[in-house]
A and B are shown apart, each in its own frame.
Chain A
Amino acid sequence: MTVVDADTAQLGATALSAPADEDLDLLLLIRHFELRLLDLFTAGQLHGTTHTCLGQEYVPVALQPLLSTVDFVFSNHRGHGHYLARYSDPVGLLAEIMGRAGAVCHGVGGSQHILRDGYLSTGVQGQSLPVAAGVAMHLRRSRPGALALAYVGDGTWGEGAVYEALNMAALWRLPLLVVVEHNGIAQSTPTSAQLAGTIAGRAAAFGIPHHRTESVDVNVIRAELGPLVARVRTECVPLVVEFATHRLGPHSKGDDSRPPEVIEHARRHDWYARYREAFPERFAEADARAAARIAAVADECAARPPVTWQASA
């Protein structure tokens, strides 16, 4: 079976605009961070689990300049890109995942439980949406113009907490931005087997504006979303932004049961190959820089002593 669907056929036709240097650097930093994590797992240097955002790195990179430091970001299990886009701190994050000194949460939280200033991730799907609504309620009063952003996957729309939060956010006019990374799959379950109707339809049911973007071009995405995100701030209304995206790697590590053609389909959408093709020289340089930086980060973390934590502090 060949999976050359309409959107894949169009890919070549839509040329990517030139990314800013810092965007390209950040995209590649996240990519190499995630690849290194999988290598470290394979080498037996990491324990537990982790979920890489391979293929989805452009989502938080595109959103980054649309956010302000007083905004509160809620991340989820697939959160390394969200964190790195906000803080550009691969050392703190890798130390956290490796349980080494300098870990951003003293090794207690690990890959999916991170708190730093206005940034929090948790490991229970859907749970963060009502919490984000509460933070949005706080911000509306204490910091007008600030918003709460919650990243969720498509599979998480199975959780009732999502709808309780959307209902309250719409009713109470809360500045809540829900960013859906719709990668078509939840662990091993394709969206077609777990989501009736559409995310657009679900947002519409609450009278919440919804915008879907198919682009991986960070400039295009920003231009589309800029005015919409500004409305969340100025008019205190929630917004659902849906990214049609693709998960390149396994759900966590070594657990990809998708047929090869589905993985191939995701690969054809990968921003990495497309940017490389469009801007070969700039890309090669930036790519080498990011790879070298991550190699150094990994060496540095590996050389650090185990992190310490006082349980009842």
Chain B
Amino acid sequence: MSRPERVVENLNRALHAHLAADPRLYLLGEDVEDPYGGAFKVTKGLSTVYGERVIGTPLSEGGIVGVAGGLALAGDKALVEIMFGDFAALAFDQLLNFASKSVSMYGRPVPMHLVVRCPSGGGRGYGPTHSQSLQKHFVGIPGLALYEMSPFHDNHDVLGRMLGAGSPGVFFEDKVLYTHRMAAAGVVDELFRFDFLDQAGEFARIYADDPGELDCLLIGAGGMTDRALTAMRELLLVDEIAVQLVVPSRLYPFDVEPVLPLAAKAGVVCVVEESTAGGTWGAEVAAVLHTRLWETLRRPVRLVHSADSIIPTATHLEREVLVGAATIRAAVKSELASRRERSLT
């Protein structure tokens, strides 16, 4: 059997398929045209095939999200690539005050088929302004959905869902993930397997051979997968702690239902995210879990973040700041130790 495709190939294929299927769909972004094909090569080949609907733009993030909003308002569909997700800051007004509001502020539903793609996160030495995880800045905006790319979720399905929703969405794509392989056929690697908690396949669950064994539940978006798996491996093999990981495709609004049984069973939950602490997606997930499982959880939901710092460029300095497998492993162990201490007293 051939190896599963790389995530970037899966995403590129998804874009091809959507542009081929829908003559009203446009893609706009800086340097997205061939032969360059985008800063991360995600859009390679698209302009050659879909010509005038794949548009290389000037450096105008606010402007191009505005143009995309205009296309969507007029009944077309639009995908925007923000070269580095950090620059979505320049499009914040169009997302917050135009695209997301337009679906409801005129007193009746106005469909807006618009997706803004944001290559995100650190780990590649791009430095403070090209490495951030901006998810938290977009959480809680009425009419704006947030999704994150993962190796478990086929990008064609995810983008189809987002483009079909009728309200705008932001798609976060962890840059490190592009070169990784998609997970297929329920197998992650020699140790871990995966399945889905829900019919729609939005919540991937990763576990080692016995899905019934569960000391602690991790929840993290796609970009955290690798670090979470490394931590889970060491926790299992070295510390003899059975941890499972849930990777949701949609971050916001966060549908907690499919996760409740596992969270209740574990009693100990950690949410891992690459952003800095403070008003985060993880805090949102924790608040929802606390409300629903206050009596059942044995500990408050633990949030695991990167350090409260800008992201330095030098590899060794960047590594010190960004949340890593060791941070996650330590957090899980301390949560379980506190739980034990408490149950002893």
Contacts and interface: CB of A to CB of B under 8 A. Distances in A.
Given A115-B110, A164-B58, A137 B93 contact: no
Nearest to A116: B106
Interface of B: 55, 57-58, 60, 62-76, 78, 93-94, 97-98, 102, 104-110
A139 B107 contact: no
B107 A138 contact: no
Contact of B105 (A108, A137, A168): A108
A100 to B, nearest CB: 13
A168 B106 contact: no
A164 B66 CA distance: 10
Contacts of A104: 107
A139 B71 CA distance: 9
Contact of A313 (B73, B74, B109): B109
Contacts of B105: 105, 108-109, 113
A127 B63 CA distance: 9
Contacts of A105: 105-108
Nearest to A122: B98
Interface string A122-159: 10100101111111111100100000100000000000
B316 to A, nearest CB: 38
Interface in A143-194: 148, 160-161, 164-165, 167-168, 171-172
B94 to A, nearest CB: 7
A127 B94 contact: yes
Contact of B97 (A124, A132, A164): A124
7 contacts: A105-B106, A108-B106, A127-B93, A131-B70, A136-B70, A165-B63, A171-B58
A134 B67 contact: yes
Quick one: which of B70, B72, B75, B98 has the most chain A CB within 10 A? B70
Given A138-B74, A165-B63, A168-B57, A130 B108 contact: no
B337 to A, nearest CB: 44
Contacts of B110: 115
A134 B74 contact: yes
Interface of A: 72, 103-109, 113-115, 120, 122, 124, 127, 129-139, 142, 148, 160-161, 164-165, 167-168, 171-172, 309, 311, 313
A113 B105 CA distance: 7
B66 A165 contact: yes
Nearest to A103: B107
A109 B107 contact: yes
A212 B122 CA distance: 51
Contacts of B57: 168
Given A131-B98, A164-B58, A109 B66 contact: no
Contact of A168 (B60, B71, B75, B97): B60
A4 B107 CA distance: 47
A178 to B, nearest CB: 14
Given A108-B106, A313-B109, A130 B63 contact: yes
A107 B66 CA distance: 25
Given A134-B74, A167-B60, A127 B66 contact: yes
A171 B57 CA distance: 10
A276 B78 CA distance: 51
Given A122-B97, A168-B60, A134 B107 contact: no
B58 A134 contact: no
